[in-house]
Amino acid sequence: MLDVAIVGGGVSGVYSGWRLIESKPNQSELLKAWAGKRPDGKLKVSLFERSDRIGGRLLSVTPPAMPSLRAELGGMRYLSTQRIVRSLVENKLKLKTYDFPVDSPQNIAYLRGIRLRNEDLSNPEKLPYHLNWQERGKTVGTLIAEAIDQILPGALEMSFSELQERKKTAEFDGRKLYQQGFWNVLDRVMSSEAYEFIRQAGGYDTTLSNWNAADAIPWYLADFGPQAKYIGFVDGFQSVPLRIKEEFVKVGGDVQINHELRSFKQVTLPDDTQGIELLFNNGNTVYCRRLILAMPRRSLELLQQTGPVLDPSNEKVHQMIRSVTPKPLLKIFLAYHYPWWQAAGVNKGKSNTDLPVRQCYYFGTEGEQAGADKSNRNSLMMASYDDGRSINFWIGMRREKEMLEQRDYRLFQPEAGISAASSDEGWRKYQAPAAIVEELQRQLQEIHDLEYIPQPYDAAYMDWGTDPYGGGYNLWKIHAKSWEIIPKIIQPVEDIPVYICGEAYSDSQGWVEGALETSEIMLQEHFSLDKPNWLTSVQDKS
């Protein structure tokens, strides 16, 4: 019998298991009592993951013939203003990081058939949008900031924590802000042309879509504020959960992969206390004192809806689970023999377009990395980072589970001579559809205005809208009171020892910070752990 069973091998799952054991049971009278019942005096904690890997929506793979680079098929960066993840990475794990480039003046903005540079976006004479006189000459960031300041006066001067408190009572045009959609309120304070400009030139659809405006404002100012600096990982973001998993196992934790949870229910344990029985699809049955479900909304919905927590009669629980919407996210990486985009005057960061590609990032050249073979000019591009409306463009080029006839479906074939051994096996698992690569090549050539671009020698692809993820991240629905739901959904049914944590139900949705944030609330309030000693302050100002 386990003291704690954790289901979900993403960052919140491995982090929760590691913290439970690493923090020493004597920090908590509850954990001390459990450990005292065992001969070795240690907690028995196991983590169960349905797939064959640890990482969840963090997925870093090594492209062929580029051993120093990582293709981030999932999360790829964190913010300097994010307290928990920054402290964990820099103070505790001491992982190698680098400043993650995003916008450079010379990067391309290809909008409405007009090819611009980022530095042109504040030039009203060049911009192909009919902005009103108050909007002309302003950058995407300035337009959004000014709109937010009209919706919630003083927001630009507030800290993230102040905004989190203010959103509970904030009103706009006589209605509570949480009862309105972000797109709806933006439409009241800016022209429709300005909205299309910030959506298309900014590169993201879902962040400006109609989600809960009260949550969108602090989220947006924290994520895209002027003081936020993006930070990436030399060995890929997946190195965070993989390293935590190593530490978890080192202190006595157990990890079981290929264990898909089917259902769970409350039972009486041999010591006459109440616990949980877990039934896995491989036939294994596990008993534990407490269960942590480190899972997003879609993964929770895929469990059998039975038992004291998920039974359909528990409408309040299901309302909380449905209070967020999973958002689509698709990424495609292409490997080339040289950085052809430099001929268009771009070298790093990203370029944006209103074409279905939406965003492309120049991830680097192998020979320019520290310690790499300088003669190796192989280069990596994230050819499409698509998070919203344009994802539907690619539907006919993807394989759908429901399709019975797939005779015309082809995967991209890597260039002859490129050995699978020159990349980790992860890259091979995520081969891109050939039709998508062909269309990407056409759009990339148009964006960069080049007569010729070379064929990629390999390609990798990930669609996070598929099960069990349901989306790349989650956003609060209109009318949801996130400040009430977050503490309640962590233990959705009082007196039943089942807990939910992860990015989906947090104040930092779409970020690892959100996953760690809810894990810490759970561990400190329900397992009586102290705040970790490596957790230090960062500037709490968006």
pLDDT reported for residue 542: 34
pLDDT of residue 201: 95
The Cα–Cα gap between 423 and 534 comes to 35
122 occurs within a structural domain: no
Distance from C-alpha of 537 to C-alpha of 518, rounded to nearest angstrom: 18
pTM of the model: 0.94
Q: How far is residue 325 CA from its own chain's centroid?
A: 14
| pLDDT score, position 419 | 59
Which residue in the block uniquely carries the two structure tokens 């559809």?
433
Q: Are residues 300 and 390 in the same domain?
A: no
What's the token pair of residue 395? 């539907």
Which tops the pLDDT comparison, 68 or 39?
68
Let me know: does 445 contact 276? Beta carbons within 8 Å: no
Mean pLDDT of the region 70-84: 95
Please indicate, yes or no, whether residues 293 and 355 belong to a single structural domain of this protein. no
Query: Residue 424 domain-assigned?
Result: yes
The pLDDT value recorded for residue 402 is: 45
**Does 292 reside within a domain?**
yes
Task: Give the residue from 420, 442, 463 where a domain finishes.
Answer: 463
Residue 212 has what DSSP assignment? B
**Rounded distance between C-alpha atoms, residue 143 and residue 195, angstroms:** 9
**Together in a domain, 357 and 443:** yes
How much is the pLDDT for 404? 44
Q: Is the pLDDT at 25 greater than 60, yes or no? A: no
Domain-embedded: residue 418: yes
Residue pair 289/46 in contact by the 8 Å Cβ criterion:
no
Question: Do 395 and 281 lie in a common domain?
Answer: no
- Average pLDDT for 486-499: 96
Is 365 in a helix, a strand, or coil?
A: strand
User: Based on the domain organization, do 335 and 457 belong to the same domain?
Assistant: yes
C-beta separation of 112 from 128 below 8 A: yes
Give the mean model confidence (pLDDT) for residues 404-420: 69
- Predicted confidence (pLDDT) at residue 401 exceeds the cutoff of 50: no
- Residues 315-339 pLDDT 10s: 999 999 999 999 999 999 999 999 9
What per-residue confidence (pLDDT) applies to 400? Answer: 52
Q: Identify the domain boundary among 463, 497, 516.
A: 463
- pLDDT score recorded for residue 226: 65
Average pLDDT score over residue span 335-344: 97
Residues 506-526: what's their mean pLDDT? 96
Q: What count of other Cβ atoms lies within 10 Å of the Cβ of residue 89?
A: 22
- 475 residue type, one letter: L
Contact 480, 324 (CB under 8 A): yes
Residue 422, pLDDT score: 57
Given a cut of 70, is residue 121 above it in pLDDT?
A: yes
pLDDT attached to residue 384: 96
DSSP string, 113-135: TEEEEGGGTT-TTT--S---TTT
pLDDT digits (tens, 9 = 90+) for 447-473: 999 999 999 999 999 999 999 999 999
Lowest mean pLDDT among 100-109, 295-304, 391-400: 391-400
Which of 422, 438, 463 is the C-terminal boundary of a domain?
A: 463
535 inside domain: no
Same domain membership, residue 483 and residue 376? no
Give, in order, the Cα–Cα distances in Å from 2 to each of 47, 156, 241, 287, 289.
10, 48, 22, 6, 6
**Cβ pair 303, 291 in contact under 8 A:** no
Q: For residue 315, is it within any domain? A: yes
Q: Is residue 371 domain-shared with residue 438, that is, in the same domain?
A: yes
What are residue 352's DSSP bridge partners? 109, 359
- The secondary structure of 248-277, three-state, reads HHHCCCEEECCCCEEEEEEEECCCCCEEEE
How is residue 353 written in tokens? 């377009």
Range of the domain at 334: 60-82+95-102+330-463
Q: What is the residue-averaged pLDDT of the chain?
A: 92
Q: Looking at residue 358, which CATH number applies to its domain?
A: 3.90.660
Q: Are residues 437 and 496 in the same domain?
A: no
Q: Average of pLDDT values for 120-144?
A: 94
Cis (ω within 30 of 0) for the bond into 433? no
| Cα(200)–Cα(196) distance, integer angstroms | 6
Token readout for 290 is 């407490």
Question: Which tokens sit at 473?
Answer: 């991240």
Domain co-membership, 456 together with 348? yes
Where would I find the beta strands (DSSP E) of 25-135? 45-48, 60-61, 71-72, 78-79, 97-99, 108-111, 114-117
Residues 211-227 have pLDDT tens digits of 999 999 999 998 776 67
State how far the Cα of 348 lies from the Cα of 362, in Å rounded to an integer.
5
Q: What is the mean pLDDT of residues 265-280?
A: 92
Q: Which of 23-27, 250-254, 476-480 has the lowest mean pLDDT?
A: 23-27
Domain shared by 341 and 409, yes or no: yes
Q: Do 275 and 337 have their domain in common?
A: no
**CA-CA distances (angstroms) from residue 300 to 7, 12, 143, 267, 469?**
10, 15, 38, 20, 10
Note the pLDDT tens digit of each residue in 159-217.
Answer: 889 999 999 999 999 999 999 999 999 999 999 999 999 999 999 999 999 999 999 99
* Neighbour-count burial for 151-165, b at 16+ CB within 10 Å, e otherwise: bbeebeebbbebbbe
Q: What is the pLDDT of residue 403?
A: 47
Position 396 in a domain: yes
* Rounded-to-integer distance, Cα 313 and Cα 203, Å: 41
Please indicate, yes or no, whether residues 352 and 446 belong to a single structural domain of this protein: yes
What is the domain count for the chain? 3
What is the percent of the chain with per-residue pLDDT over 90, rounded to a whole number? 82
In this predicted structure, the answer to whether residue 386 has a pLDDT above a threshold of 90 is: yes
Residue 120 covered by a domain: no
Q: What is the CATH number of the domain that holds 267?
A: 3.50.50.60
